[in-house]
């Protein structure tokens, strides 16, 4: 009997907001896992062991979602009834797409040059842009009007582009390493 009626924020005892206190989130996560983790039930009945695995998996998912600004935003928008259309809506402004192309070219150049320093510089650039987007997300969630939430959804899609780029840049860095 998993508590599907409880959302991730409630499960981990934090308020359903974008600006959550990550330290409190982590502390609550550890407290809940202490009570639910399968290690607690190694000696219990088969049924309890199974329940514990299911609960612990859900708690892990909740924590994993809430600690990431991107996943947290998507989840929070969902709770407020907004679909981010993260896969389906690729309708981005030309200027944004141009920026992405330039960053990707910079990554290709770094890979060709075999320069981890260049990749590092690019990663720092991505971090800066992500932080900027996080601020806008925070403001949009705070405002909470329909228009503001649509803006949040757009920014989440932007964040998704950066997240993929970051992943690819880290892949390149890893390859240069080996």
Residues at the contact surface with other proteins, assessed by CB under 8 A: 1, 3, 11, 13-15, 17, 20-21, 24-25, 27-28, 30-39, 42-48, 51-58, 60-61, 63-64, 170, 173-174, 177-178
Q: Collect all residues with Cβ–Cβ distance below 8 Å to 106 and sequence separation of at least 6.
A: 118, 122
Among 94, 115, 92, 91, CA closest to 169: 115
Closest approach, Cβ 21 to other proteins, in A, equals: 6
Nearer to other proteins by Cβ, of 126 and 154: the residue is: 126
Cα atoms found within 13 Å of the Cα of residue 127, Cβ hemisphere only:
7
102 alpha-carbon distance from chain centroid? 24
Nearest 10 degrees: Cα torsion 120, 122, 127, 128: 120
Nearer to other proteins by Cβ, of 99 and 134: the residue is: 134
Tokens 């998996």: give the residue.
Answer: 57
Nearer to other proteins by Cβ, of 92 and 176: the residue is: 176
Closest approach, Cβ 92 to other proteins, in A, equals: 24
Nearer to other proteins by Cβ, of 24 and 101: the residue is: 24
Closest approach, Cβ 2 to other proteins, in A, equals: 9
Contact in structure between 87 and 156 (CB atoms under 8 Å): no
Closest approach, Cβ 94 to other proteins, in A, equals: 30
Contact in structure between 69 and 132 (CB atoms under 8 Å): no
Q: Within 10 A of 9 (CB to CB), how many other CB atoms are there?
A: 20
Closest approach, Cβ 22 to other proteins, in A, equals: 10
Nearer to other proteins by Cβ, of 109 and 127: the residue is: 127
CA distance 54 to 15: 24
């Amino acid at each position: 009997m998993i508590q599907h009626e409880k959302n991730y924020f409630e499960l981990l005892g934090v308020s359903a907001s974008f600006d959550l206190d990550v330290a409190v989130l982590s502390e609550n996560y550890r407290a809940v896992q202490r009570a639910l983790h399968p290690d607690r039930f190694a000696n219990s009945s088969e049924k309890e062991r199974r329940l514990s695995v299911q609960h612990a998996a859900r708690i892990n998912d909740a924590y994993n979602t809430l600690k990431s600004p991107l996943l947290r935003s998507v989840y929070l928008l969902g709770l407020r009834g907004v679909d981010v259309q993260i896969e389906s809506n690729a309708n981005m402004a030309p200027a944004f797409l141009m920026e992405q192309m330039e960053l990707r070219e910079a990554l290709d150049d770094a890979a060709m040059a075999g320069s981890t320093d260049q990749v590092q510089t690019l990663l720092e650039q991505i971090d800066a842009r992500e932080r900027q987007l996080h601020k806008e997300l925070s403001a949009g969630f705070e405002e909470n009007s329909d228009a503001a939430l649509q803006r949040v959804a757009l920014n989440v899609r932007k964040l998704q582009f950066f997240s993929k780029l970051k992943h690819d840049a880290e892949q390149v860095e890893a390859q240069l390493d080996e």
